[in-house]
């Protein structure tokens, strides 16, 4: 009925599922909605402009999807449980890495990294390359986004002039590199990105992504079929820590969750 925006609806669902700005380990999670980070202009009437919201980030390409299914079926010897993904789509380090150019996230990121910035090539520096990594290239990267990508241009600029390092190709890290259609303007990027979130295409398909993150495809047989299962430790509400007597195992699980992320409570 268009009585509420997609942004407000997603924030409402995140809150219901226990996500909060006050907890980096359970920070609100938002979807990648676009797949076009190379065009000069953004066409929001073309379905090919958008990410496939019915599939998790690990299944955005056929080749990648098959690799994760193969991993699930093989249960590699070094894995303690059967799952598609051993990394998560939202964690404290993912949130801090996206927002690293703003305080207090700068200090949070450095503390999580042992007191300094990460190697420059691993830092968040380009929207396009981050999309390619999370959707296609990197088998340990299935990141989704944070709410700031839809309303806060400031996180895309290095206004505090932090020395973030220099990449191997000689690029000095500063402001985040934006897609051509943003014309190098963070405000234009946020404006168009928010328009994409509120577009007819996303409005018609967003419920598929909600099923994956907050709904019935979150775990169980539906999650297996959707190529959407994560390491058991990520399912915080399924882990009964009170029944684990071994303090070493309990601290290992807690450390795993704090470092690698947590599945939202099922709504």
Residue 264 lies in a domain: no
- Amino acid 252: pLDDT: 74
How much helix, strand and coil, in percent to the nearest 5, is found in the chain?
50, 5, 50
Instruction: Look at the chain and report how many structural domains it folds into.
Output: 1
Instruction: Give the angle 216-222-223 at the CA atoms, nearest 5°.
Output: 85
What CATH number does residue 202 fall under?
A: 1.10.1540.10
Distance of CA 233 to the CA centre of its chain: 18
Residue 229 lies in a domain: yes
Short-list 32, 38, 1, 4, CA closest to 150 = 32
Residue 126 lies in a domain: yes
Helices (H) and strands (E) in the chain, counts: 9, 0
210-246 in b/e form (b: 16+ CB < 10 A) is bbbbbbebbbeeebbebbbbbbebbbbeebeeeeeee
- Amino acid 78: pLDDT: 53
- With beta carbons less than 8 A apart as the criterion, state whether 189 and 208 touch: no
- Amino acid 46: pLDDT: 97
Cα separation, 84 vs 234, in Å, equals: 12
Average pLDDT of adjacent 10-residue blocks, the chain of 267 residues: 94 97 95 98 97 97 95 70 90 95 94 88 95 96 97 97 92 95 98 98 98 95 95 74 74 71 89
Locate 137 and state its tokens: 């290239």
- Amino acid 241: pLDDT: 66
SS3 state at 8: helix
Residue 41 lies in a domain: yes
Residue 266 lies in a domain: no
Residue 156 lies in a domain: yes
Instruction: Note down the domain range covering 139.
Output: 6-258
Cα separation, 253 vs 245, in Å, equals: 12
pTM, rounded to two decimals: 0.92
- Amino acid 221: pLDDT: 94
Residue 265 lies in a domain: no
- Helix 200-213 / helix 6-16 crossing angle, nearest 10 deg: 10
């Amino acid at each position: 009925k268009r009585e509420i925006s997609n942004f407000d609806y997603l924030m409402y669902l995140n809150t219901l599922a226990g996500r909060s700005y006050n907890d980096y380990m359970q920070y609100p999670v938002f979807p990648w909605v676009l797949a076009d980070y190379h065009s000069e202009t953004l066409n929001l009437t073309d379905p090919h402009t958008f990410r496939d919201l019915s599939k998790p980030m690990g299944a955005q390409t056929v080749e990648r999807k098959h690799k994760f299914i193969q991993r699930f079926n093989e249960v590699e010897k070094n894995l303690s449980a059967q799952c598609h993904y051993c990394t998560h789509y939202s964690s404290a380090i993912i949130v801090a890495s996206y927002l690293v150019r703003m305080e207090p996230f700068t200090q949070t990121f450095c503390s999580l990294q042992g007191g300094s910035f990460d190697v420059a090539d691993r830092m968040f520096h380009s929207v396009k390359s981050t999309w390619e990594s999370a959707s296609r290239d990197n088998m340990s990267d299935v990141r989704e986004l944070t709410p700031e990508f839809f309303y806060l241009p400031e996180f895309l600029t290095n206004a505090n002039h932090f020395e973030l390092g220099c990449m191997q190709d000689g690029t000095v890290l500063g402001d985040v590199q934006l897609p051509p259609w943003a014309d190098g303007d963070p405000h234009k990027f946020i404006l168009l990105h928010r328009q994409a979130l509120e577009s007819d295409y996303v409005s018609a398909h967003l419920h598929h992504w909600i099923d994956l993150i907050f709904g019935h495809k979150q775990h169980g047989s539906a999650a297996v079929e959707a190529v959407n299962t994560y390491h058991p430790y990520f399912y915080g509400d399924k882990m009964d820590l009170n029944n684990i007597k071994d303090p070493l195992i309990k601290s290992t699980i807690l450390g795993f969750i704090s470092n690698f992320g947590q599945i939202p409570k099922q709504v």
